[in-house]
Amino acid sequence: MSRLLRFKHFAPRRGFATATRVQGSPLEANTFIDYESLSQQISQVRKRHGKPLTLAEKVLYSHLEDLENQELTRGSSQLRLRPKRVALHDANAQMALLQYMTTGIPRVQVPTSVHTDHLITARDGAVEDLERAIAVNKEVYDFLQTACAKYGIAFWKPGAGILHQVIFEQYAYPGGLMIGSDSHTPNAAGLGMLGIGVGGMEAVDVMAGLPYEVKHPNIIGVKLTGALGPWSTTKDIILKVASVLTVRGGTGSIIEYMGPGAEALSATGMGTVGNMGAEVGATCSIFPYNRGMGDYLELTGRSAIARSAEAYSHNLRADDGAEYDRIIEINLSELEPHINGPFTPDLSWPVSKMNEAVAGKEWPTHISAALIGSCTNSSYEDLSRAASIATQAREAGLKLQTELLIGPGSEEIRATVNRDGILDELKNVGGLVLANACGACVGQWERPTVKKGTKNTIVSSFNRNFVGRQDGNPATHSFVASPEIVTAMAFSGNLQFNPITDAIKRPDGTEFRFSPPQGTALPQKGYERTLEYYGAPPLDGLEVELAVDPRSDRIQLITPFDKWDGHDEQDLELLIKVKGKCTTDHISAAGPWYKYRGHLQNISQNLLIGAVNDENGKANSIRNIDTGDFDTVPSVAEHYRDSGRKWAIVAADNYGEGSSREAAALSPRYMGGFAVIARSMARIHETNLKKQGLLPLFFTDPADYDNIKPGATLRLSRLSSLAPGSTVLLSYTNPGQEVQQAELSHSMTERQIDWFKAGSALNTLRSKA
């Protein structure tokens, strides 16, 4: 069967959107898309710009707050944009809504939705896990539901599915711009939409009617030629891109895909590529409009959008001659299936090279678990192709050599693959179907069969594989691949197995080789369009009473942070000099800590417990300079804070990569932090620090990171002269040494400096409201 299910072709009708606006979502009668207006804005900017535009530029510029006067220089201009949608997931929505409540604004100014996908723990199966989550998280769900009703926000109940999949099914559209409080919001790229992952307070700003501010991204072009082979998938495109760009190479950039190879890709397949752009640090990704997008819109009840997008498709692709800051070329015909890992999503291996990759390593080769699904790979196409592998194995008499866990992305997907027998094929070989939720992908996975500290290997179709990411076990070696490769490997149980060339013995001793997987991009009978878990907001929520128990250890009302005291100098304790990779998982762990995402005091007890201390090479073990003893990071931070002293974190490269979790900035602020000084930082985390009134500072000379020793005392000066482009002076004294100095830079705008002075961005918003 072909990968792309074809539907009737729509002849372009240039005047279609001029006559009428198109409803943006079947669920929202009062949201509209006007492609004619967007086209006029693009034409206006093109004349002003004086050169051809990339697709990413077209979408950005058509959402500018100030079309006439905005500076448009890549890599330096600060863009002020008007996104058309905000999306929040339940873990981050708690703090975002607690902050929004303090603004006094009675109703969100931009269409917003909350999705309950992160708090459901994978353990026993869909029914049991969902029932347990509803019982355990009742007060959180009650708070979110009442807050959504009060402020005019759509609420997707537990069981509805993963944020990005539901957005794709219900809200995303070609040429749009949205933000979401999750780093994988760029999943919307599969429908030609710029979806940008942000922190919770950035979302609050937009919900309150303020523009979204971001440095003008550079544009990386990825030219696709050829066609995917029988075993290769769109997952392998982004796994290959990750090997080229690494986890930092996309920082400050939008990745724009193009070329003849992009024309035949399915919408959900392109969503996979956009989703994992977060793993290379990209602001977001985007694909030009193609028939795959139109077919998907048709089948998900948005045919009017498909017709309008077809009519204006000339503005849903780059202009001829558009310039890119970098071009990467990938011949899909030569692209092998890839496996990336362990411990980082950019350590990339063609499946044919896994034997070489494993050689000399201490990686366990036996696979202890195989997992498919997640927001990255849970489409009809993904699951149908995985099921075809399972069917071949069953017919050959093979048995699973490890547990196989299946996570449908949404109730719509689950109901559709269940109707079409796809889910039965996966269950018939012993697969366990989990709830429509993030589960193990975000650390919500209970594994009683594997004790913490036990070395083991897992393979998954997820997007992220940092240390301890899936199960909280730092000894779990996590590898990422396509769902069909993961499924095939589950029947071999061996990391070195190549499904394309290697054989498995049947029970009778004969050899069996898999044939290439078969599947379709879209269901021939259409999707099971279910709204069982959808809750539309009431027209007026003024009388809704918020469900907040003052005695709760899950939801805590917030207290504003103090404003800056205005002093030019600030003495600081060095809380920790972080060694090596430090993601937001290290700064604010997930897993069991998710339950405290709405309680700042409690969630702050996980502050930096995963970060490795440069002094002793241990996690969650730092020296208290007053006692001389080693203690946990939260304990020492609290000690300094409660004794009236502020502190700083010193870190290396790409500090704060990974999830967009705002707690990784809120907790340091709450615990007495003043600054984070690093060689470099991930975009979302840097902005989160700014939003909470912390100073994100950078070593002008990267060698200064090495020169600062554990136990050093720090002093920042030139604070009273903070301005865009200014420098800050760091004076540090290592134990037993003379004072040394290092120059620090920052990227703060005037507006962001005001956040620092006010104590937080929320304080400035609150004063204006």
Position 267 in a domain: yes
Q: Which of 181, 186, 126, 147 is nearest to 410 (CA)?
A: 126
Position 367 in a domain: yes
Rounded to whole angstroms, how far apart are CA atoms 607 and 671?
Answer: 9
Catalytic, out of 447, 661, 669, 746: 661
Task: Work out the pLDDT band at 11, boundaries 50, 70, 90.
Answer: very low
pLDDT at position 20: 59
Rounded to whole angstroms, how far apart are CA atoms 749 and 713?
Answer: 28
CATH number, position 605: 3.20.19.10
Q: Which of 701, 614, 608 is nearest to 647 (CA)?
A: 608
Catalytic status, residue 182? yes
Position 661 in a domain: yes
Domain end (from 332, 356, 379): 332
Q: What is the total count of domains within the chain?
A: 3
* 349 lies in the same domain as 220: no
* 582 lies in the same domain as 713: yes
Q: What is the mean pLDDT of residues 166-176?
A: 98
Position 528 in a domain: no
pLDDT per residue over 388-407, tens digit each?
999 999 999 999 999 999 99
Catalytic, out of 25, 85, 89, 117: 117
- pLDDT for residue 14 is more than 80: no
Residues 6+ apart with CB under 8 A from 456: 364, 366, 368, 369, 450, 473, 475, 476, 477
Residue with tokens 């400096």: 753
Beta-bridge partner residues of 191 = none
Catalytic status, residue 721? no
* 323 lies in the same domain as 384: no
Residue 303 tokens, joined:
């045919």
DSSP-derived secondary structure letter, 655: B
Catalytic status, residue 718? no
* 289 lies in the same domain as 342: no
pLDDT per residue over 667-712, tens digit each?
999 999 999 999 999 999 999 999 999 999 999 999 999 999 989 9
- pLDDT for residue 743 is more than 70: yes
CATH number, position 396: 3.30.499.10
Catalytic, out of 39, 183, 266, 659: 659
* 393 lies in the same domain as 487: yes
Catalytic status, residue 115? no
Other CB atoms within 10 A of residue 310 CB: 21
Position 183 in a domain: yes
Catalytic, out of 129, 182, 205, 471: 182
Q: What is the mean pLDDT of residues 739-765?
A: 97
* 636 lies in the same domain as 718: yes
Beta-bridge partner residues of 87 = 113, 180
Task: Work out the pLDDT band at 660, boundaries 50, 70, 90.
Answer: confident
Containing domain of residue 276, as a range?
21-332
Domain end (from 299, 314, 332): 332
* 369 lies in the same domain as 289: no
Task: Work out the pLDDT band at 374, boundaries 50, 70, 90.
Answer: very high
- pLDDT for residue 411 is more than 70: yes
Task: Work out the pLDDT band at 768, boundaries 50, 70, 90.
Answer: confident
Catalytic status, residue 661? yes
Straight-line distance from the first to the last Cα atom of the chain, in angstroms, rounded to the nearest whole number = 57
Residue 698 tokens, joined:
């950078």
Q: Which of 305, 249, 221, 239 is nearest to 52 (CA)?
A: 221
Q: Which of 609, 371, 343, 363 is nearest to 466 (CA)?
A: 343
What's this model's pTM, rounded to 2 decimal places? 0.93
* 316 lies in the same domain as 392: no
- pLDDT for residue 260 is more than 60: yes
